Structure 1
Amino acid sequence: MAVTHPVGRNAASRKYDILTALGALALSQDKSAQRLTLRLMTLITARYNWRNDELIVGRVEMARLWCVDERTVKREMAKLKAMGWIEVKRAGARGRITTYRMMLDRILDDTRVAWANVGPDFEARLSLETEAPQPATGQGAIVAFPGAKQVPAPDVSSGDPWALAAGMLHGDDPQSYGAWIAPLTHHDTRGEVMMLMAPSRFHASYVQTHLLRKIERAVRSLDVDVSRVAVLFPEG
């Protein structure tokens, strides 16, 4: 799918198409998914800069707009990042708010199942506009290497801290996630320690050596009461 950001001559209709697709998908989902999508749509309508491809809104302002507390804002934004619908364009720093961008390719791909609910004209138009260009004759096509298994992103609808963290890690590096993080399961959380279970001693050792800091950063970013992650493995 090849989608350009809505600027220029057809920008207005493109924006409405994206919002319509999001709304149609939300109406076909449960209340939790509807609420999350409505919150994103409100942010897009109120604060998204389409020309610069930027969403710059602080957590306090989001909390006021959504009528929730800042902890909920953190969790909802973590869900959207885990779903691949937004990504950080510029990380926040002292005196500067984090800047996000909308991942329109992913949003349109995920809403495709609801296009027909709007009408056949809407579905046909978006299908035509988002169709990936075919390679020119003689140039060949991109072929995936054998064994390069694509693991889908985890379900983040439950809001479970480990599911959200795993979703963020999948978005950062799908290959590393598929090989090393997807097999991890949430074993228990005791106090400030989240315990994950690896399928083997070797797997646990690799994760502890190469990925533990990255996993801990993802977990802490969700504002849960966890300061450390431990990776366990089955005995015997």
Structure 2
Amino acid sequence: MQTIRAVGREAASKKYDLLSAMMAHALAGDQHRQRLVLRLMALMTARYNWQRDELTVGQREIARLWCVDARTVKRDMARLRDLGWVEVKRQGARGRVSVLGLNLERIMLDTRKEWVNIGEDFVSRVGGATVEPISQVIPFPRSVASVPKGTWGEACRRLADEDQGLCDSWFGALVDGGIVDGCLTLIAPSRFHANYVRTHLLDRLIIAVRRSDASVGHVRIEIT
């Protein structure tokens, strides 16, 4: 999958690819998804600093752009943060608004199922050659007993939908250690495995867990 960057000769085309992917994702969903994605696209095209990955705009300005009230702004921005599409880079204080960033990789992951609706040339261009019909996907062999259940099991299914190979290599080896006080503990088979997940995959893992169970706010990786 291509990496969206705001610099270089192909920066402009990659921005259009990102917006096209978001558009296709919105049109394939219900009116609630369409409205939410359209509102984010309005912020991106009007106020987002692509080079610095910064969205610095107050709720009052957002409400004016979206033609909604402040309550709707709070609700939809919270939804975008829960999706992992919008992230807080610096919390606002003393009258200053928060500085937000966009997780462009997360957006592309969440929209990849709809890339084919744009066309095969788009799928090939953005690096989606691995997106295939479900019937052609051959999962890594795994015994039924090893498939986790509950919140972690649901999160694993989401992670496998995103990238089966990555799930089999790294997430599949994590063992559910239970949820206590809103924190899910996962047991890794080795220190190296735990460190790799913490360093490279934790954000993706947390999003999958939160989408599976909104009551889980943290994930801790431990070793056996």
User: When the two structures are superposed, what TM-score results if normalisation uses the length of structure 2?
Assistant: 0.62
What residue number does 2:83 align with? 83
- Counterpart Cα distance in 2 of 1:7 and 1:23: 23
- What is the rounded CA distance, in whole Å, between the counterparts of 2:46 and 2:53 in structure 1? 14
**Which amino acid counterpart does residue 22 of structure 2 have in structure 1?**
L
What letter is aligned with 1:90?
R
Q: What CA distance in whole angstroms lies between the structure 2 residues aligned with 1:55 and 1:119?
A: 30
1:128-168 CA distances to partner (integer Å, 9 max, x unpaired)? 69999xxxxxxxxx74544056654337xxxxxxx8xx38x
Q: Tell me the matched-pair count.
A: 156
Q: Deviations along 1:27-50, whole A, 9 cap, x unmatched?
A: 000001100000000000000000
For the residues of structure 1 that align with 2:2 and 2:115, how far apart are their CA atoms? 17
Which runs of structure 2 are paired with 1:49-64 in the superposition (5 Å)? 49-64=49-64
Q: Residues of 2 paired with 1:104 and 1:39: CA distance? A: 16
**What residue number does 1:202 align with?**
none
Structure 2 residue aligned with 1:107: 107
| Alignment check: 8 A CA contact 1:2 1:130 kept | no
Structure 1 distance, partners of 2:40, 2:174, is: 38
Q: Match of 1:153, as an amino acid?
A: R
Shift >4 Å, 4+ stretches: 128-132, 148-151
* Residues 99/129 of structure 1: CA separation in 2 closer, same or farther (3 Å cut): farther
Q: Aligned partner of 2:65: which letter? A: L
Determine if contact 1:48/1:54 at 8 Å carries over to the other structure: yes
Q: Which segments of 5 or more consecutive residues in structure 2 lack a partner in the other structure?
A: 132-162, 164-168, 177-185, 187-204
TM-score normalised per structure 1 = 0.59
The one-letter amino acid of 1:6's match is: A
Q: Are the counterparts in 2 of residues 5 and 104 from structure 1 also a CA contact under 8 Å?
A: no
Residues of 2 paired with 1:16 and 1:32: CA distance? 23
**Is residue 2:211 matched to residue 1:154?**
yes
Seq. identity, %: 49
* Runs (5+) with no aligned partner, structure 1: 133-141, 156-162, 177-236
